[in-house]
Structure 1
Amino acid sequence: MKFGAAEEAEIDELYEWFQQNPKLPKEIDRILLKRFYRCMYGDIKGTKKLIQINYGLRNKHSHIFLERDPTDSDSKQTFDYADLVPLPGLTAEGYKVNHTADTKAFFMVSDCRFNMYDGDVSTEGHLETFASGEVQIFDMNGYTLKHLSKMTFSTLRIYMAFLQEALPVHLKAIHIINCPSYLDKVVSIMKPFISREVFKLIHFHTVSLDSLYEHVPRSILPEEYGGNGGKLADLKAQLMAELSRKREYLMDPNHWKVGGEKENAERRRWPFK
């Protein structure tokens, strides 16, 4: 799918509005702006509201969304023990699948992905592919009651609020695999932070991965999960390389931090064409 002239004009207008809004950062990546627009099905008013909620939550919780570096020791520790990998391709419904874990690192990975198209970009046709939804997979293998006792409720609350209210893509499903015997305790902790609508999207896979395959095609799952999407280590290496390339973007306050009154004349203008 490709944005037509009318849609591109509306994106131009949204960008001008973004730059002139003192309650928003100085800059926004054009692809990210298109994601917000697509997520709200081209509804300008809805797009503006979603953008304001997104950046409002980011700046309210700066320790998660602003004070970050994908190459620092904390991030390295997270990526060493957790695999936060966007899986290749899309489901038959056009959904993007993510193998997820730690909160702060998860949102860095999301922001890195959200300024790219979800499909191949043709140099000739400039194909613009955005996923029509988001599917998350949480692997609880190795997760113990000790981990549960260390869970920070404030962080869980922020994560769920952003996921449900501010993400520029529609959440379609959450799959929890390798569920432990104490699953009821995990659910009792999470449930107060999850809306009824989102809770209906959660699928618990307690016996095997066969039930997961009914929702997520094996063609995009890593080999370690019975799929044909490549080795998890290779997918993770690609992600780490992309995070390194986009480190400056992820840490640039002009893209994320809400400051004082904006000085339009001093700002870098948008390269429309």
Structure 2
Amino acid sequence: MTDTGKYLVITAEEMAYVRREVGTNEDDIKTAVTSLREWLRMQPHLPDAVDDSLIERMYINSKCSMEKVKLGLDAYFSLKHRFPELLINRDIGGSDFQFLMKHLKMMTMPRLTKDAYRVHVWTAVDKDPTNIIWLLYGKTMTCALEIMLVEDYSLGDVIVFDLANVNGGHIVRTDINLIRNLEVCYKTAYRRRLKGLHLVNASKIIHSAMKIVKMALSEKLQKRVFAHLPGSTTLFEYVQRDCIPDELGGTAGPVDNFSYKLREMISREWLLEKDKYMSDESKRPAENRYGDIYGIAGSFKKLSVD
């Protein structure tokens, strides 16, 4: 992959802050990565085709819990069997991806919040709901997660979803199961933590949107959803303005400066190669309990949020 360091802004001070918050340091990380890589080599059903940077990020994202990293590594490879529509064949140069970029703008903001969270913004939704294919946007989200798992250094995520153009047609076409499946991937295979989901410009559609949220997200994540009326500034009680595009009242710059920029920083071949590596369930040891949680027969209800 190419260097995303020029886009994702992470200072040495921010990296040190994240490490302090999760209770780790350079020596501890090196010891953990070595141990986890050895554990991975001993798993007959898992490939060891991961960089040390991925293991380190997963360790940080798991708040330095070795057991949770092991769960995460198993999920990272095994969930591709369970959710292939989200986690494999992610051809960012394909016509599907070119289509979706015209109908909804998705972006990962380069600057961390003051509390070291990464901000993601979805805006400019096409008013015609037939042009919004949620599965493609879900797959695009996993592409961003893939990049952040080797490049980002943060304590989790803040998502801002602009509902200005969203209407009843979008709501009825929303796939509840897709959202649930994304949550599983998000918090297990990528070990990310959601600080807040902010629905902005939310007046006309808010009741329907909140109903979707309650059906789709786990109870704990529901408590991290916030709605903001058009013209209000309540979003900035949670996220500073320099992390939000100008069009949504922030000062970071125009939306087009950020939309799909993270996707542009990676090689098409790199991502397709990542898609090839998955667990071999025929070799999973009988005593391995991770498969009961994340494998083909895994249950969403068994998962919990950090």
Common topology (TM > 0.5): yes
Name the CA shift for 1:255/1:48 in 2 (closer, same or farther; >3 Å). Answer: farther
Residue of 111, 131, 144 corresponding to 2:146: 111
Distance apart, 1:166 and its partner CA: 4.1
Alignment partner of 1:94 is 2:129: no
Distance 2:275 2:88 in 1: 11
Match of 1:36 in 2: 58
Match of 2:165 in 1: 142
User: SS at the partner of 1:156?
Assistant: helix
Distance apart, 1:237 and its partner CA: 5.8
Distance 1:153 1:138 in 2: 17
Alignment partner of 1:79 is 2:101: yes
Once the two structures are aligned, what percentage of the paired residues are identical? 21
Distance apart, 1:218 and its partner CA: 0.7
User: SS at the partner of 1:141?
Assistant: coil
Structure 2: segments with no counterpart, 5+ residues = 1-15, 20-24, 124-136, 285-306
Distance 2:50 2:158 in 1: 25
Match of 1:69 in 2: 91
User: SS at the partner of 2:50?
Assistant: coil
Q: Is the 8 A contact 1:28 1:255 kept in 2?
A: no
Residue of 249, 270, 277 corresponding to 1:249: 270
Match of 1:239 in 2: 262
Q: Deviations over 1:28-86 (max 9, x none)?
A: 13222111111222221221123223433333111111121111111111122222211
Q: Is the 8 A contact 2:90 2:275 kept in 1?
A: no
Query: Is the deviation greater in 55-64 or in 193-202?
Result: 55-64
Q: Is the 8 A contact 1:68 1:251 kept in 2?
A: yes
Q: Is the 8 A contact 2:202 2:228 kept in 1?
A: yes
Alignment partner of 1:174 is 2:197: yes
Match of 2:279 in 1: 258
Distance 1:255 1:43 in 2: 27
User: SS at the partner of 2:34?
Assistant: helix
Output the aligned Cα RMSD.
2.3
User: TM-score normalised to the size of structure 2?
Assistant: 0.73
Q: Deviations over 1:232-251 (max 9, x none)?
A: 11222632421xx3322211
Distance 1:199 1:27 in 2: 35
Match of 1:11 in 2: 33
Name the CA shift for 1:154/1:207 in 2 (closer, same or farther; >3 Å). Answer: same
Q: Is the 8 A contact 1:26 1:255 kept in 2?
A: no
Would you identify which runs of 4 or more consecutive aligned residues in structure 1 move more than 3 Å?
A: 163-167, 253-256, 259-262
Structure 1: segments with no counterpart, 5+ residues = 118-129, 263-273
Residue of 156, 161, 166 corresponding to 2:179: 156
Distance 2:260 2:177 in 1: 31
Q: Is the 8 A contact 2:186 2:192 kept in 1?
A: no
Q: Deviations over 1:172-229 (max 9, x none)?
A: 1111111141322222233122222111100011233400011111112112222221
Distance 1:154 1:204 in 2: 22
Distance 2:148 2:112 in 1: 14
Q: Is the 8 A contact 1:26 1:254 kept in 2?
A: no
Distance apart, 1:132 and its partner CA: 1.2
Distance apart, 1:87 and its partner CA: 0.7
Distance 2:69 2:177 in 1: 27
Distance apart, 1:231 and its partner CA: 2.0
